[in-house]
Amino acid sequence: MRATSDKVVERALLAVACTAVFCLLVIAAFIFKEGFPFLLKVGPGNFLFSSDWRPDSGHYGIFPMIVSSLWVTFGGLAIGAPLGIAGAIFLSEFGPPSAMRVVKPAIELLAGIPSVVFGFIGVMVLAPFIRRVAGGPGLSVLAAAIVLGVMILPTIMSISIDSLRSVPQSYREGALALGATRWQAVRMVVLKAARPGLLAGMILGMGRAIGETMAVIMVAGNAVKMPASALDSARTLTANIALEMGYATGMHRQALFATGIVLFVVIMILNGAATAALRRRGAAKR
């Protein structure tokens, strides 16, 4: 009797455990159901590679948004990755343990701050600063990249710290015993061993940057055109969805869901890559 009820519980828990996967599938199904017929009608080539976005007259080309998303994402990565990885190396290899206890949680506070707040600070402080120092409208690719760089910093730092710590202590001892300085041991041995994990952190940071919406809407300027320089206004894929979703109907709304498909696919590819990199780290440890 009790053994049977235990079996029932196991079945029930198995069903519950499938919820996350089920949700993922339902999300994919509904986004594709809304956007895919549109993609077929307009043609993926026209949709992805045309620069003409005028939904009211039936032109749906998102190429400038794709380029803008790539600009701000790689810009953000160029700022967030060096700072995040440098912080991780310092904290796990050189800093005193007390620094790790205090500094790591302090920097991780950044991950908790709402993206709208980042956007607002970007508008009030960063954009005027860029306008004054470098010219242009201020609300720009550069402003978005800086804000994104700060936002993805905690992700990159946390994962980098984990992967540096998972490098066996004997690697360091071996290098030091051969007469290397601590920096040489880190540079030549530890960083090499931790590389898959550092890479995974950067990929996940990229995923966050490309998917970020509210902060980017506030600081990137949102002009529908190809950004001519880093000081130019730009509209990303995510911003395009969020800005027009409020009033879009019919084909226009489907076009926004099709934009969602593009984002979804990119994020899935990045997630797969990060998982593969982390698995390589796991394999290397063993």
Window 106 to 145, contacts with other proteins (CB under 8 A): 106-110, 112-121, 123-125
CB 136 within 8 A of CB 232: yes
CB of residue 104 to other proteins, shortest distance in Å: 10
CB of residue 98 to other proteins, shortest distance in Å: 13
CB of residue 136 to other proteins, shortest distance in Å: 21
Does residue 96 belong to the site contacting other proteins (CB under 8 A)?
no
Among 43, 44, 82, 128, binds other proteins (CB under 8 A): 82
Does residue 196 belong to the site contacting other proteins (CB under 8 A)?
no
Does residue 276 belong to the site contacting other proteins (CB under 8 A)?
no
Angle at 86 between CA 229 and CA 238, to 5 degrees: 40
**If DSSP codes are grouped into helix, strand and coil, which group holds residue 228?**
coil
Angle at 223 between CA 219 and CA 224, to 5 degrees: 135
Count of residues that interact with other proteins, criterion CB under 8 A? 87
Does residue 283 belong to the site contacting other proteins (CB under 8 A)?
no
CB of residue 139 to other proteins, shortest distance in Å: 12
C-alpha 118: how far from chain center: 15
d(Cα 154, Cα 285) in Å, to the nearest integer? 24
d(Cα 219, Cα 266) in Å, to the nearest integer? 23
Does residue 178 belong to the site contacting other proteins (CB under 8 A)?
no
Does residue 6 belong to the site contacting other proteins (CB under 8 A)?
yes
| Distances from the Cα of 58 to the Cα of 42, 62, 250, 252, 270, angstroms | 10, 13, 11, 8, 32
- Which one, 37 or 135, has the nearer CB to other proteins? 37
Footprint of other proteins on residues 142-161 (CB under 8 A)?
150, 153, 157
Does residue 47 belong to the site contacting other proteins (CB under 8 A)?
no
Span near other proteins by CB under 8 A; candidates 50-58, 67-75, 79-87, 132-140: 79-87
d(Cα 238, Cα 236) in Å, to the nearest integer? 5
CB of residue 269 to other proteins, shortest distance in Å: 11
- Which one, 68 or 213, has the nearer CB to other proteins? 213
Across-strand partners of 221?
234
- Which one, 52 or 70, has the nearer CB to other proteins? 70
Number of H helices, E strands in the chain: 14, 2
CB 111 within 8 A of CB 178: no
Does residue 177 belong to the site contacting other proteins (CB under 8 A)?
no
d(Cα 144, Cα 236) in Å, to the nearest integer? 10
Pick the closest to residue 229 from 123, 134, 125, 132 (CA basis).
Answer: 134
Footprint of other proteins on residues 205-264 (CB under 8 A)?
207-208, 210-214, 217-218, 238, 241-242, 245, 256-257, 260, 263-264
- Which one, 36 or 52, has the nearer CB to other proteins? 36
- Residue carrying structure tokens 């803008």: 68
Q: Rounded to the nearest 10 degrees, what angle do helices 250-285 and 237-244 cross at? A: 140
- Which one, 91 or 141, has the nearer CB to other proteins? 91
Q: What single letter denotes the amino acid at residue 188?
A: M
CB of residue 170 to other proteins, shortest distance in Å: 21
